[in-house]
Chain A
């Protein structure tokens, strides 16, 4: 499916048109990030070199503490690396300060408690310069895509874990970003809801022509992506593993 380039959103600030060739969306080179300093320093990511290309469907797997979340945050531009190179050629620069380039779905609850669902989804749009009316309309459209429109006026505390996570995804989609990063999006959900969520993510990524990177430890989720990289102890192995071999299975 080709990206629907006629649907331009009126957002403040320039957004350079996305080239349709296989250019890099995110490029990492010897990327490292260490938390803290001195003896208590924790090396979360070290020596990561990789490229996320346009239209990629990527899963990053690995045990907890392996640095998947940190890598994702680095890719989102939310954290500055302590060493190495990181750039976003296809997005035209650092995503910080340009809302609407990267959409992140976080691991834990990430809705603002004092705003209802529509207001939460509309917030990033307002931050990028849409008027209240525009933002609200686009938010409602995104919620409809995720089949959440009847939850519009509810507050986050009234939602179940699965519903909250889907609203978070709707929030990302409303902004129509070219890069979607999802950090353990199905961690809190049961199998069925989780599968549904992945459906939505994939569908939306396709509709937007966006690249999708998902970090997960769930094999079933990893299986649905095109590529799968493994992360362990801060190091990334970018060799595509054959599907089905991503996790050691417990001997029966």
Chain B
């Protein structure tokens, strides 16, 4: 149990709506969620429930219409774009289902870039790659990786900046059982080291490793 009073990731009453095809869609209708350091929280829900929107808001990639998001006590919402970017670079790791790597840089260079943006020292590059078991493939370009290697590489880059908060959207969607287990083990390991992990998923294997499961339905947290 963490002795910190402030949660590593804290979101309160988030509202977000979109205009799509001349229709207004309310994607988040007062969602509150918090994740402590060392916790793995899984967010589940059918497609269209607002999971991806929630993730974007938590990462500071999207500005909610109302509500606050705090990362390690620092406010993410209501800040300028560059402040959010800096906050994200230093404290948040984001992992999407695909397209996590810059295609014209090797995986090692991708890690380097992420560390540079987060103002972290360069010496830990190889450790990170080793952690996901991709050290021998450090000089490979993203196009040369297999599906499983790609997912692990994405995770490595997301972890490059030693984030306090790790957000992932369907991190194991395309992976087979074995790779999925490896990746989940990495999440667990990271959480054990003090990271707050939030995973959006629909895979029961993922919810199985989570400490807590939050169900999202129609923009609201299901009770």
Query: Which residues of B lie under 8 Å from residue A192 when comparing CB positions?
Result: 46-47, 202
CA distance A192 to B205 in the complex (A): 15
List residues 237-252 of chain A with CB under 8 A from any CB of chain B. 247-248, 250, 252
Query: Which residues of B lie under 8 Å from residue A187 when comparing CB positions?
Result: 173-174
Query: Which residues of B lie under 8 Å from residue A188 when comparing CB positions?
Result: 173-174
Count residues of B near A (Cβ-Cβ below 8 Å): 19
CB–CB B47/A64 < 8 A: no
CA distance A248 to B208 in the complex (A): 15
Asked whether B24 is an interface residue with its Cβ less than 8 Å from the other chain, the reply is: no
How many A residues touch the partner, as a band? 10 to 19
Question: A173-195 interface mask toward B, CB cutoff 8 Å, 1 = contact, 0 = none?
Answer: 00000000000000110111100
A160 and B47 in contact, given A63-B179, A190-B202 (Cβ under 8 angstroms): yes
Question: A188-215 interface mask toward B, CB cutoff 8 Å, 1 = contact, 0 = none?
Answer: 1011110000000000000000000000
B181 to A, closest residue via Cβ: A250
Asked whether A93 is an interface residue with its Cβ less than 8 Å from the other chain, the reply is: no
CA distance A248 to B146 in the complex (A): 22
Query: Which residues of A lie under 8 Å from residue B177 when comparing CB positions?
Result: 63, 217, 247-248
Query: Which residues of A lie under 8 Å from residue B147 when comparing CB positions?
Result: 64
A66 to B, closest residue via Cβ: B176
List residues 8-44 of chain B with CB under 8 A from any CB of chain A. none
CB–CB B178/A190 < 8 A: no
Interface of A is mostly: loop
Query: Which residues of A lie under 8 Å from residue B87 when comparing CB positions?
Result: none
Asked whether B175 is an interface residue with its Cβ less than 8 Å from the other chain, the reply is: yes
Q: What's the minimum C-beta distance from B53 to chain A, rounded to whole angstroms? A: 15
User: What are 20 of the A-B contact pairs (CB < 8 Å)?
Assistant: A63-B179, A64-B147, A64-B148, A64-B175, A65-B146, A187-B173, A190-B46, A190-B47, A190-B202, A191-B202, A191-B203, A193-B47, A217-B176, A217-B177, A247-B177, A250-B181, A250-B184, A250-B205, A250-B208, A252-B208
**Additional A-B contacts beyond A64-B175, A190-B47 (11; CB < 8 A):** A63-B179, A64-B147, A64-B176, A65-B146, A188-B173, A190-B202, A192-B46, A192-B202, A217-B176, A250-B181, A250-B208
Enumerate the 7 nearest inter-chain pairs by beta-carbon distance, A residue then B residue, closest first: A217-B176, A190-B202, A64-B176, A63-B176, A247-B177, A63-B178, A191-B202
